[in-house]
Structure 1
Amino acid sequence: METSRNPRRRTLIVLTALAVTGSLTATGCGGESATATTSDGKVKITVLRSNGAIFEPLYIAEQQGYFEDAGLDVTIKAGAQDTSQNAPSVLNGEAQFAMTDSSGFLKGAAQDMPLRIVTGLQSATTETDPTDGLLVKKDSPIESFADLEGKTVGISALGGTIQFICEYLVQKAGGDPGKVKFVALPTTSLTDAATSGKTDAVFSFGPFYFAGLDSGLRSIGNGMNDVPGMVQGLLFAGQKYLSSNGDTAKKFIDAVAKAITYANEHPAAVKAIDKKYTQVPAAFIDAHDINHYDKTLDTTVMRTVITKMHEFDLLDNEPKDDALYWDQAPTTAGE
């Protein structure tokens, strides 16, 4: 596999993005249907969640009655495996809200898709131990991200958040990210790739990260926690929907905010949801702390991510802030 700097691959990415944008323009601009309600007057909402994690506050809002108390009838569905592909369903009215991460949303924003972030769900933080990171063999000469120059790093997908994190931390450590080769590998193969020497390092996450440590691999740095404030999970909606249904959208994100507070205070509830809706073994879930949830969107960190992703050729252009956030989203300008 090639890195995203390969000219031919770069052209394919751009053409694919333009093709997607064209299809959204055709189906999305007028495709959002009128607000539907139940027989007792509750507003119907469909939200597409990720297939991995960070969706727990949605189920807590459902379980604790926060959606119902807000007059909402919310259906939670698993969205696309690649959450950036949830955009068409939102723009054509199949769903009103959907999950993705920073890079997933920014790729759409860079193509002028009429989408806006409505709330955060989770951001990188120094308040919790790392649950992802760069792994190398114990006897590897790699001691910092700067040492990745001229090396091959295995990641789960090219061009997204993980590649950005690696390149950003290489540059921050004084290295040249352009001299790092990235290869896409199945997540389940990352540990083997590092231990066998197929790659010089891998960036892994969740149970696969901990499995790598258990197998004897060594971690470099603190993973995404080395970029505190970077949004790892967010909810977005179509601009047209928000302009016509602002009151409903505010009720929705307020209910999610209550659920975020509850999730941080009741880890057992989060773990119960993970056991039901993820493929992670129950023993692993019980043995590890939950992540910290956060609704706040740090616009300063997001601007850094945008600038650097563009510098690293991971974004075609740099979308402005007014093309990113709903005007009632919980934003803050961090340091």
Structure 2
Amino acid sequence: METSRNPRRRTVLALTALTAALSLTATACGGDSTNEAKTADGKAKVTVLRSNGAIFEPLYIAQQQGYFKDAGLDVTIKAGAQDTSQNAPSVLNGEAQFAMTDSSGFLKGAAQDMPLRIVTGLQSATTKTDPTDGLLVKKSSAITSFSDLEGKTVGLSALGGTIQFIVEYLVQKDGGDPAKVKFVALPTTSLTDAVTSGKTDAVYSFGAFFAAARTSDKLNVIGKGMNELPGMVQGLLFSSQEYLAGNGATAKKFIDAVGKAITYANENPDAVRAIDKKYTQLDAAFIDKQETAYYDTQLNTTVMRTVITKMNEFKLLDKEPTDEALYWDQAPTTTSSEE
């Protein structure tokens, strides 16, 4: 179990090690990324690392519906790191061509000038749907607002990412001091038990795990989660500049197939539920009763800039990366606000 008020030191150490690993990888690979692996029938081999908790459903739908195959791709989907920002080394050394993370997880690498680019969004906060994430406290808790978290311990699935950011953002928005909140990293599957047992004062959960917890007669939900910052990217896919430069056509086929899967997922919630039954530990009967998430490829650059500025203020980033250091030139970006 990791605890931290400010995980910058841990992040900097990890990224320093990553920089060294990248240098060795570049030497070993010779910079020749155009020699992509192919199957015997000519399909480009692609490995993508998914999150362990949520938002990965469109990847499996693209596989099940044949969108990857139709695009001439042979895609392998693997579970990535618990802290998805730590998927970057696998992408940079060529073990995977794409990986999932959240906006803040990606920004930690971008702030260290890692040669990575966002290729597409998967999900963003929206007022069009009920919250799919949020702060949970015991019914008996004196915590009734985010400002009440001052001096309290909050359980998160990972330190320093989007979830820690949104908690600090909402504490500040509510008039509190984010610097007075203590955070502890716990497995996603253990968050509900941690707050129910009193191990933590609150937890911030998401996806199907949040949906299950919010129905508990022992817990209260505080606020509207990330929906209080519409357009904030909750899930995205990224790749390395080297791979994109040498294999742009394959990358475009990949993100187009994911886009088709996102449309299908939004129109066919039962397909999403079937995937959750297979890849989460939640009861099938419960999954059948729940609304599914709304997926979106669009990357709101205006909201991302707000996140960057605030993360830097909260000392979750060492510096503010430019837009040119964030997005692939073929990524689906927008600057419009949600109506």
TM-score (norm. length: structure 2): 0.90
Q: Kindly tell me: are residues 199 and 104 of structure 1, through their superposed partners in 2, closer, same or farther at Cα, counting changes over 3 Å?
A: same
Partner SS state of residue 309, structure 1: helix
Is the CA contact (8 Å cut-off) linking 1:4 and 1:159 kept in structure 2?
no
Q: Which position in structure 1 is the counterpart of 2:248? A: 246
Q: 1:230 aligns with which of 229, 232, 235?
A: 232
Q: 2:321 aligns with which of 314, 319, 323?
A: 319
Is the CA contact (8 Å cut-off) linking 1:36 and 1:44 kept in structure 2?
yes
Q: Given the alignment of the two structures, is residue 173 of structure 1 paired with residue 174 of structure 2, yes or no?
A: yes
* Structure 1 segments (4+ residues) deviating >6 Å: none
Number of aligned residue pairs: 332
Q: Kindly tell me: are residues 63 and 183 of structure 1, through their superposed partners in 2, closer, same or farther at Cα, counting changes over 3 Å?
A: closer
Instruction: Out of 187-196 and 228-237, give the one that drifted further.
Output: 187-196
Identity %: 75
Q: Kindly tell me: are residues 304 and 28 of structure 1, through their superposed partners in 2, closer, same or farther at Cα, counting changes over 3 Å?
A: farther
Partner SS state of residue 54, structure 1: coil
Is the CA contact (8 Å cut-off) linking 2:276 and 2:287 kept in structure 1?
yes
Q: Which position in structure 1 is the counterpart of 2:60? A: 59
Q: Given the alignment of the two structures, is residue 27 of structure 1 paired with residue 28 of structure 2, yes or no?
A: no
Q: Which position in structure 2 is the counterpart of 1:106? A: 107
Q: Given the alignment of the two structures, is residue 69 of structure 1 paired with residue 98 of structure 2, yes or no?
A: no
Distance 2:259 2:302 in 1: 21
Is the CA contact (8 Å cut-off) linking 2:54 and 2:207 kept in structure 1?
no
Is the CA contact (8 Å cut-off) linking 2:5 and 2:181 kept in structure 1?
no
Partner SS state of residue 256, structure 1: helix
Instruction: Out of 273-282 and 105-114, give the one that drifted further.
Output: 273-282
What is the deviation of 1:92?
Answer: 1.6
Q: Which position in structure 2 is the counterpart of 1:13? A: 11
Q: Kindly tell me: are residues 317 and 155 of structure 1, through their superposed partners in 2, closer, same or farther at Cα, counting changes over 3 Å?
A: same
Q: Kindly tell me: are residues 45 and 208 of structure 1, through their superposed partners in 2, closer, same or farther at Cα, counting changes over 3 Å?
A: closer
Q: CA RMSD in A?
A: 2.1
Which runs of 5 or more structure 1 residues have no equivalent in the other structure? none
Q: Kindly tell me: are residues 212 and 151 of structure 1, through their superposed partners in 2, closer, same or farther at Cα, counting changes over 3 Å?
A: same
Q: Which position in structure 1 is the counterpart of 2:336? A: 334
Is the CA contact (8 Å cut-off) linking 2:153 and 2:182 kept in structure 1?
yes
TM-score (norm. length: structure 1): 0.91
Q: Given the alignment of the two structures, is residue 3 of structure 1 paired with residue 1 of structure 2, yes or no?
A: no
What is the deviation of 1:280?
Answer: 2.4
Q: Which position in structure 2 is the counterpart of 1:41? A: 42
Distance 1:283 1:225 in 2: 27
Q: Kindly tell me: are residues 251 and 218 of structure 1, through their superposed partners in 2, closer, same or farther at Cα, counting changes over 3 Å?
A: same
Is the CA contact (8 Å cut-off) linking 2:8 and 2:316 kept in structure 1?
no
